[in-house]
A and B are shown apart, each in its own frame.
Chain A
Amino acid sequence: MSETVENHERVTLTRWELGLDKALGLLAASVLMLLMIITFIDVLGRYLFSAPLPGAFELTEIMMAMLIFAGLPLVSRANQHVSVNLIVGILSPKILHLQRLITQAIMAVVLAVMAWRMWIKAAEMLEQGDETAYLLLPIAPVAFFMTLMMAFSTLIIAIQFVRIYRTKEKQ
């Protein structure tokens, strides 16, 4: 289900961007595969051996968070967020350029705010000692991971902003 209107940018990626893509891609891929396997084992264990996987419930929750937020920078990098390009098609190149700058700036600000608030939330969770109910795993690290991924996404969008800005200068 890739409900995306893709917007391919012909830009050369820097080495660290490619590296980040690969690392996050591997992480997201392994977590999703693991999520599938854990669900499978949990169900199979329950029906065949009357022994569901202990803690599968909370492992699933943690893996969901990792999956989504490892995927977020990738989505931001590939410019895959769904948008309505209704009026975009009829704009002059100059206004279109401006529109893209504004859009990128708005997205960067939103992501930055989210990262900032998530950081505060993560610190709170650390202090309160929030943990999972069965395996007693601390939740704060997951929240910090989410913060980090949103910070990465902010950075990626900011870099895109700069790139779009420069394409104008070149013209």
Chain B
Amino acid sequence: MVVMFIGVPIAFAMGIVGFFGLVGMIGWDPSLAMVAGVTMETGLDYGLSVVPLFILMGNFVTHAGLSDELYAASNAWLGHRRGGLAMATALACGGFSAVCGSSLATAATMTKVAMPSMRKYGYADSLATGVIAAGGTLGILIPPSVILVLYGIMTQQDIGKLFAAGIIPGIIGIFGYMATVWVVTTINPKLGPKAERVPMLERFHLLKGIWSIVVLFVIVIGGIYLGIFTPTEAAGIGASGAFVFALGRRRLSWLTLYRVLVESAQTTAMIFFILIGAIMFSNFVNIAGLPDDLANFVETLGWSPLAVLFAILGIYLILGAVLESLSMILLTIPIFYPIVEGLGFDLIWFGVIVVVVTEISLITPPIGLNVFVIRSVLPEVPTGTIFKGIIPFFIVDVIRLALLVFVPGLVLLLPSYMP
């Protein structure tokens, strides 16, 4: 942990901790051999090819400008209400999440798309950035989701089922955020004034603009859900589809294509490096028998499974404040999932719960990556303003988390119908 906090990249920190832990357990030579073994098998893993392909799909979608139409359509239907543009932002974030597997990309894209019009109509920066930060977190919950893919790989759960499990909680998230905007602007109407009403005919006309997103979602997620494609194949199809849309809209010069590809490759390399570090760490945890020790410890406490779960969620909320989402999941899952499974909880359900907690971590200070992303697009908005705007959305997130914990059916309904 110390290595991590002095600013050593997390991939390296986890790898170092895992490595020296292993040296203590099995000696130098085997530990050094494991470095190469883990690197080799993580590098040459067919199952992991789903990761770069979903990243690529998200980056193509971003460059295709599909978000513009999405936001325009949401605005046309909601903008004239009080706080309507912010509600439209939450809705558009949800829609964008359905084709993009990353929360940060969703937040960054929606900042560029939604901020100008909210500013134009005099929305408070706090509400405007707050709803983007919160709405952006849906990127990892509503499928496709890179985080759910990695969770599935670490816990050997069906990625298709995990994706299906994220849909209803994601929709609850969208409506929760819209309701929050309604409450906030009812209390203080000045935060989100009404925009002009768009005529009905034009509203329907604008709906047509989102067909490409609907097509991509139906093919990719529908294909996985109905059992037509494996997730890896769906990612390949999705990336190809997004490429065609970007091409068709003339948004791809050779240079942009090159940049999209290189950016996706870099993100992939970075994630895999964290993964290699995490596997070293997880092998150490495994050989040291940590999950067993922890399970025994939990048993001596004599707590009910639900109490243990709440303790784990508490740990996540604390870790989530200071850790980046991907590393948090890769660091904790190897330790926690055997315990959670041992307590009789469903691992698909737990995956979604973990993602919802991670969503919260993306918007909590001091390390809230979505906030950083918004700041990188809008350097003039103070971090404090964004965090202030987030507070009501944070409260709603916690309520949603509790709802999903106590009503697991909301998570498990859709996966239960899968082949």
Contacts and interface: CB of A to CB of B under 8 A. Distances in A.
**Do A and B touch, yes or no (CB under 8 Å, in the complex)?**
yes
Interface of A: 1-5, 25-26, 28-33, 35-40, 42-43, 57-58, 60-65, 67-72, 74-75, 78, 80-88, 99-100, 102-103, 106-107, 110, 113-114, 117-118, 120-121, 139, 142-143, 146
A146 B56 contact: no
A114 B325 CA distance: 25
B269 A71 contact: yes
7 contacts: A39-B49, A58-B46, A64-B43, A64-B52, A71-B269, A81-B10, A139-B44
Given A42-B233, A106-B16, A110-B16, A82 B269 contact: no
A69 B265 CA distance: 9
A40 B258 contact: no
Contacts of B325: 3
Contacts of A26: 258
Contacts of A71: 262, 265-266, 268-270
Given A2-B267, A67-B52, A114-B39, A103 B44 contact: no
Most chain A CB within a 10 A radius of its CB, from B49, B258, B325: B49
Contact of A1 (B6, B33, B146, B274): B146
A68 B49 CA distance: 10
A39 B258 contact: no
Contacts of B326: 3, 82
- Residue of A1, A88, A121 with most partner-chain B CB within 10 A: A1
Most buried by B among A38, A87, A121: A121
Q: Which 10 A-B pairs have the closest CB atoms?
A: A39-B236, A71-B269, A1-B102, A81-B9, A29-B261, A28-B265, A121-B36, A117-B36, A65-B43, A71-B265
Contacts of B271: 1
A118 B39 contact: yes
Given A86-B322, A106-B8, A110-B12, A69 B43 contact: yes
Interface of B: 3-12, 15-16, 32-33, 35-37, 39-40, 43-46, 48-49, 52-53, 55-56, 58, 101-102, 104-105, 146, 229, 232-233, 235-237, 239-240, 243, 257-258, 261-274, 322-327, 366-367, 369, 372
A100 B7 contact: yes
Contact of B229 (A43, A63, A117): A43
Contact of A114 (B35, B45, B367): B35
A1 B51 CA distance: 10
B265 A83 contact: no
Contacts of B235: 39
Nearest to A145: B43
Contact of B323 (A2, A84, A102, A143): A84
B270 A80 contact: yes
B38 to A, nearest CB: 10
Contacts of B102: 1-3
Nearest to A132: B44
Nearest to B9: A81
Given A39-B236, A64-B49, A146-B39, A82 B267 contact: no
A28 B16 CA distance: 27
Contacts of A33: 261
B6 A87 contact: yes
Given A103-B7, A106-B3, A146-B39, A86 B367 contact: yes
Nearest to A100: B7
Contacts of B240: 36-37, 39-40
Contacts of B4: 83-84
A35 B53 contact: yes
Given A5-B372, A88-B7, A110 B270 contact: no
Nearest to B239: A36
A150 B12 CA distance: 14
Given A84-B4, A118-B40, A3 B324 contact: yes
A3 B53 contact: no
B32 A2 contact: no
A39 B269 CA distance: 19
Contacts of A38: 236
Contacts of B257: 29
A104 B221 CA distance: 42
Given A1-B101, A36-B56, A84-B10, A29 B266 contact: no
A24 B6 CA distance: 30
Given A1-B102, A72-B273, A110-B16, A29 B262 contact: yes
Given A1-B104, A32-B261, A81-B270, 4 more contacts: A39-B235, A43-B236, A74-B262, A74-B265
B262 A40 contact: no
A169 B239 CA distance: 48
Given A1-B55, A43-B233, A113-B32, A84 B7 contact: yes
Nearest to A105: B8
A75 B49 CA distance: 19
Contacts of B15: 110
Nearest to A64: B49
B153 to A, nearest CB: 13
A118 to B, nearest CB: 5
Nearest to A139: B44
A62 B7 contact: no
Nearest to A2: B267
Nearest to A113: B35
A32 B261 CA distance: 7
